[in-house]
């Protein structure tokens, strides 16, 4: 692909920010608090708006239903907050893990009443989606078991099939249900939707509005993610991504911080698919990271710009030459063609794209100079004091 086309391909990469990514988060060993972290939904959208302002490619924000909507109130209130900050509501994320009722699972729970509660919540989420103009309902399940024997794996599978169907049947025509998979955590023996094959099998039974969601950190160690992406693309079953990076488990680090070449190879599959079919697939690119230590807004900007860099590099792969090398079994050249694109300095391309959009060539620097952090630190410190919120220790 020519540099000019690579620049154009950047228009395809719209990255959704997670509202929960601006609040304090941590590990089971506690949280390290940040003075500038978001206190409420308005703060989250304000911060997301800032990331979008400086990067120019984050027009939507994923919302967590329990945290970003007030029960009993019109969900459009949240949409208005979004609009005020120059963004829109993106994927709707049900919460099926937090309520004490979900101790033994949500859709997989042995208790029919709990399953009904979970299904009601799922349906409510799609109604909220309709109300706020979002067509993505993004399901992640903490469901599973911690000990051998704890529950019947097949019974849980069938409960999932039934509950998902109940939710699927209530989708609006243009809504898409994304089903995420994850090998483990918080379930430590068996997770009900543990790998792409389980997510795929469930989606196939539901129908054309169900698609697989690939979280880049939710794989067995060594598993080839780009192959899963390639298969799902070929099956027209890839609905979206959750962006983050990992070294050990579901570490939720910023994208490309541990293995940038892998992210490049994933993006390469998407560009290759587009080159072959003539258009980019409809995929939701969403960030889902937890940055306990990095400043939240900076961590978000870093992931966004890293994604753009790796996307642009992958766009530069010489597909014609690659095809020739592949067909003739020239492994060394095929790999070199990939590496050559990967090693390209794409900063001029990104600068040009940003210039076209009226953006600063260095979003991080521009953000830092803007004084936004100083302003929210002062504001939120003051409000925390008023609200009586301490940031001393999260461990009890």
- Among positions 30-69, residues that touch a second copy (CB under 8 A) are 30, 32-33
Q: How far is CA 344 from CA 1, 238, 352, in A?
A: 13, 28, 15
For residue 285, the minimal CB distance to a second copy (Å) is 20
- Among positions 116-155, residues that touch a second copy (CB under 8 A) are 142, 145-155
Q: Find, among 191, 165, 168, the residue nearest to 180 by Cα.
A: 191
# residues near a second copy by CB under 8 A: 109
Q: What are phi and psi of 108, to 5 degrees?
A: -100, 0
Cβ neighbours of residue 2 closer than 8 Å, sequence gap 6 or more: none
For residue 297, the minimal CB distance to a second copy (Å) is 10
Applying CB under 8 A, which of residues 173, 174, 221, 388 lies at the interface with a second copy? Answer: 221
Does residue number 273 form part of the binding site for a second copy (CB under 8 A)?
yes
Exposure b/e, 27-65, CB count within 10 A at least 16 = b: eeeebebbebbbbebebbbbbbbbbbbbbbbbbbbbbbb
Does residue number 73 form part of the binding site for a second copy (CB under 8 A)?
no
Q: Is it true that the peptide bond before 186 is cis, omega within 30 degrees of 0?
A: yes
- Find the part of the chain contacting a second copy (CB under 8 A) among 27-35, 45-53, 82-90, 119-127: 27-35
Pattern 283-312, a second copy, x by CB under 8 A: ---------xxxx--xx--x------x---
For residue 258, the minimal CB distance to a second copy (Å) is 7
Q: Is 225 in a helix, a strand, or coil? A: helix
For residue 277, the minimal CB distance to a second copy (Å) is 10
Does residue number 372 form part of the binding site for a second copy (CB under 8 A)?
no
Does residue number 27 form part of the binding site for a second copy (CB under 8 A)?
yes
Does residue number 113 form part of the binding site for a second copy (CB under 8 A)?
no
Number of neighbours of residue 26 by Cβ within 10 angstroms: 14
Does residue number 365 form part of the binding site for a second copy (CB under 8 A)?
no
**Burial bucket for residue 285 (CB in 10 Å: 0-12, 13-18, 19+):** buried
Q: Please identify, using beta-carbon distances, which residue of 53 and 156 lies nearer to a second copy.
A: 156
């Amino acid at each position: 692909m020519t540099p000019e086309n690579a620049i154009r391909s950047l228009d395809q990469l719209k990255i959704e920010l997670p509202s929960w990514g601006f609040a304090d988060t941590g590990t089971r060993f506690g949280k390290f608090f940040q003075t500038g972290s978001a206190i409420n939904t308005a703060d989250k959208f304000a911060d997301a708006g800032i990331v979008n302002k400086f990067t120019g490619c984050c027009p939507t924000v994923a919302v967590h239903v329990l945290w970003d909507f007030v029960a009993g109130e019109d969900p459009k209130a949240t949409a208005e907050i979004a609009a005020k900050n120059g963004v829109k509501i993106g994927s709707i994320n049900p919460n099926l893990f937090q309520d004490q009722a979900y101790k033994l699972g949500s859709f997989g729970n042995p208790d029919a009443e709990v399953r009904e509660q979970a299904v009601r919540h799922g349906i409510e989420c799609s109604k909220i989606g309709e109300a706020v103009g979002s067509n993505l309902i993004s399901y992640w399940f903490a469901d599973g078991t911690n000990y051998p024997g704890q529950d019947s794996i097949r019974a849980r599978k069938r409960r999932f099939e039934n509950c998902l169907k109940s939710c699927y049947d209530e989708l609006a025509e243009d809504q898409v249900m994304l089903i995420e998979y994850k090998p483990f955590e918080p379930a430590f023996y068996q997770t009900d939707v543990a790998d792409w094959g389980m997510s795929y099998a469930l989606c196939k039974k539901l129908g054309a509005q169900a698609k697989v969601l690939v979280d880049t950190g939710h794989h067995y160690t060594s598993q080839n993610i780009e192959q899963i992406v390639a298969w799902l693309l070929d099956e027209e079953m890839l609905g979206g991504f959750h962006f983050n990076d990992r070294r050990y488990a579901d570490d939720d680090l910023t994208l490309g911080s541990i293995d940038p070449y892998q992210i490049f190879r994933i993006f390469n599959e998407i560009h290759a698919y587009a080159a072959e079919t003539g258009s980019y697939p409809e995929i939701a690119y969403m960030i889902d990271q937890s940055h306990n230590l990095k400043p939240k807004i900076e961590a978000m900007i870093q992931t966004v710009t890293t994604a753009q860099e790796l996307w642009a590099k992958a766009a530069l792969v010489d597909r014609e030459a690659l095809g020739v090398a592949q067909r003739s079994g020239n492994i060394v050249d095929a790999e070199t063609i990939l590496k050559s694109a990967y090693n390209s300095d794409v900063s001029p391309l990104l600068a040009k794209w940003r210039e076209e959009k009226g953006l600063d060539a260095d979003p991080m620097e521009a953000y830092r100079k803007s004084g936004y952090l100083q302003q929210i630190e002062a504001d939120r410190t003051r409000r925390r004091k008023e609200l009586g919120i301490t940031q001393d220790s999260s461990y009890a």
